[in-house]
């Protein structure tokens, strides 16, 4: 039998979202729950024809349009097949077996996954009791001279932020370490360090069209870095990894900023509404800067998730992660979806682990 590399033999297979989610309330994977701008669909229907589908993708004009939107030069941007592909490109370009990745714990598991594929070691820095990343622990980890640091900002699944002050400190403290700032949820947080790519030569920023723009099925993402880093990544990247459908929809989607802005405003209002309801029910949650809320439901959290699923409401059960036992994550969607979620949670309130606050206003992890 022909054996794979040692790193793959040790690796556990990454499990994507479950199938059969169509037609349900998709509050489990932080997607746009109402769909992309109608103008994107109309433009795609006008564009599709046999000749267009039979040609390999053409990138340069679209790359210039997208670069103008993100206020970077085309040479500072790489188009990718979603953020997952972006992480794969970063690892294949810069990571050797035995290199060290530093990540918060908990965070998006795909960072560790692709690092492990390359044979790298992952050093997890535990967040504090409020799921915030302690700068002192990160600085201690940097003394090991890791190859890269991966920071989702806002973090997934917690929704917490690393401040610009702390990001600046990390970038300055480790000039020989790549620092990835994954801004998948930027549209909901409003905080970005994208302009910093010209100031810090060790900074890489990623964005995605899978969240606020509603194009998760098309797998469209971007890497941003200074010209030298970007050129290194471009050398080994699959030249046709992004398909023409994804590219055409992304270019059209940025022309509908008002639609995206209205959707984001609705999500932020519903996030506040959901948090107020959780407070009324005495349920602890982590204050979020993203389009989801991580909640502590207690020992019967999986039972609550199954109960919601029977009502066709899908939520993310994090019980398989020891650090998040008893936690459920709710994607925040439309007003109607939020009302239904709150109503079903109220019906299941007897199953929840409520928190006696003793006058405290801290709503995060206890």
Cα-to-chain-centroid distance, residue 211: 8
Query: Are 316 and 324 in contact, with CB atoms under 8 Å apart?
Result: no
Supply φ then ψ for residue 78, to 5 degrees.
-125, 130
CATH of domain 38-256: 3.40.640.10
Per-residue pLDDT at 115 exceeds 60: yes
pLDDT for the residue 43? 87
Residue 249 corresponds to which tokens in the numbers above?
């929809």
pLDDT for the residue 355? 58
Residues 138-189 pLDDT 10s: 999 999 999 999 999 999 999 999 999 999 999 999 999 999 999 999 999 9
Task: Please state, in angstroms and rounded to a whole number, the distance separating the CA atoms of residues 343 and 223.
Answer: 40
pLDDT for the residue 14? 66
Task: Please state, in angstroms and rounded to a whole number, the distance separating the CA atoms of residues 220 and 82.
Answer: 4
Supply φ then ψ for residue 101, to 5 degrees.
-105, 135
Domain ranges of the chain: 20-31+258-351, 38-256
Mean pLDDT (whole number) for 50-65 = 92
pLDDT for the residue 116? 93
Residues 254-295 pLDDT 10s: 999 999 999 999 999 999 999 999 999 999 999 999 999 999
Mean pLDDT (whole number) for 129-139 = 93
Q: Which residue has the higher pLDDT, 356 or 221?
A: 221
Number of helical H runs and strand E runs in the chain: 14, 12
Please tell me whether residue 155 adopts helix, strand or coil conformation: coil
Please tell me whether residue 288 adopts helix, strand or coil conformation: coil
Rg (CA), the chain: 21
Mean pLDDT (whole number) for 89-99 = 95
Of the listed ranges 22-26, 273-277, 342-346, the one predicted with least confidence: 22-26
Q: In what order do the strands lie in the sheet with 327-331?
A: 25-27, 313-317, 327-331, 292-296, 284-286
Q: How confident is the model at residue 351 (pLDDT cuts 50, 70, 90)?
A: confident
Q: How confident is the model at residue 16 (pLDDT cuts 50, 70, 90)?
A: low
Per-residue pLDDT at 313 exceeds 70: yes
Per-residue pLDDT at 358 exceeds 80: no
Contacts 24+ apart (CB under 8 A), 198-203: 198/76, 198/226, 200/171, 200/172, 201/175, 201/226, 201/228, 201/229, 202/171, 202/174, 202/175, 202/176, 202/177, 202/178, 203/171, 203/179
Q: How confident is the model at residue 15 (pLDDT cuts 50, 70, 90)?
A: low
CB under 8 Å to 157, separation ≥6 — which residues? 106, 107, 108, 292, 294, 316, 318, 324, 327, 329
Q: Which fold has domain 20-31+258-351?
A: 3.90.1150
Mean pLDDT (whole number) for 200-208 = 98
- The backbone region for 229, taken as left when phi is positive above 0, alpha when psi lies in -120 to 50, beta otherwise, is alpha
pLDDT for the residue 220? 96
CA angle (154 as vertex; 150, 156 as ends), nearest 5: 75
Q: Furthest-apart CA pair in the chain: how many Å?
A: 68
Per-residue pLDDT at 80 exceeds 60: yes
Q: At what angle do helices 301-310 and 335-347 cross, to 10 degrees?
A: 120
The residue whose two tokens read 């297979």 is 13
CB under 8 Å to 348, separation ≥6 — which residues? 304, 307, 308
The DSSP string of 290-302 is SSEEEEE--TTHH
pLDDT > 90 fraction of the chain, expressed in percent and rounded: 81
Q: Indicate the average pLDDT of the chain.
A: 91
Per-residue pLDDT at 363 exceeds 60: no
User: pTM of the predicted model, to two decimals?
Assistant: 0.91
pLDDT for the residue 6? 72
Task: Please state, in angstroms and rounded to a whole number, the distance separating the CA atoms of residues 149 and 122.
Answer: 10
pLDDT for the residue 177? 96
pLDDT for the residue 206? 98
């Amino acid at each position: 039998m022909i054996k794979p590399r040692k790193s793959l033999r040790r690796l556990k297979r990454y499990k994507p979202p479950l199938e059969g989610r169509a037609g349900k309330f998709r509050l489990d994977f932080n997607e746009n729950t109402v769909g992309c701008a109608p103008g994107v669909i109309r433009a795609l229907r006008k564009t599709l024809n046999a000749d267009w589908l039979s040609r390999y993708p053409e990138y340069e004009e679209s790359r210039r349009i997208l670069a103008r939107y993100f206020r970077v030069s085309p040479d500072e941007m790489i188009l990718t097949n979603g953020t997952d592909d972006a992480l794969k490109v970063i690892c294949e370009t810069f990571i050797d077996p035995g290199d060290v990745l530093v990540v918060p714990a908990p965070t998006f598991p795909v960072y560790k996954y692709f690092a492990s594929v390359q044979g790298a070691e992952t050093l997890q820095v535990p967040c504090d009791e409020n799921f915030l990343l302690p700068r002192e622990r990160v600085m201690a980890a940097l003394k090991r001279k890791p190859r890269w640091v991966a920071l989702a900002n806002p973090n997934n699944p917690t929704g917490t932020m690393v401040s610009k002050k702390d990001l600046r400190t990390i970038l300055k403290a480790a000039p020989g370490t790549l620092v990835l700032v994954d801004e998948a949820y930027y549209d909901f947080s409003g905080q970005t360090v994208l302009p910093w790519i010209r100031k810090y030569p060790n900074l890489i920023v990623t964005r995605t069209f899978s969240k606020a723009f509603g194009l998760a099925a098309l797998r469209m993402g971007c890497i941003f870095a200074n010209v030298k880093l970007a050129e290194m990544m471009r050398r080994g990247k699959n030249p046709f990894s992004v398909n023409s459908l994804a590219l055409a929809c992304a270019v059209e989607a940025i022309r509908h900023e008002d639609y995206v802005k209205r959707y984001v405003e609705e999500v932020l209002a519903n996030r506040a509404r959901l948090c107020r309801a959780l407070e009324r029910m005495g349920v602890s949650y982590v204050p979020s800067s993203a389009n989801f809320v991580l909640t502590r439901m207690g020992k019967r959290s999986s039972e609550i998730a199954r109960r919601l699923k029977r009502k066709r409401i899908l939520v993310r059960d994090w019980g398989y992660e020891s650090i998040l036992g008893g936690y459920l994550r709710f994607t925040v969607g439309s007003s109607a979806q939020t009302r239904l979620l709150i109503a079903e949670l109220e019906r299941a309130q007897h199953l929840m682990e409520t928190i006696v606050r003793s006058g405290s206003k801290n709503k995060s992890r206890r």
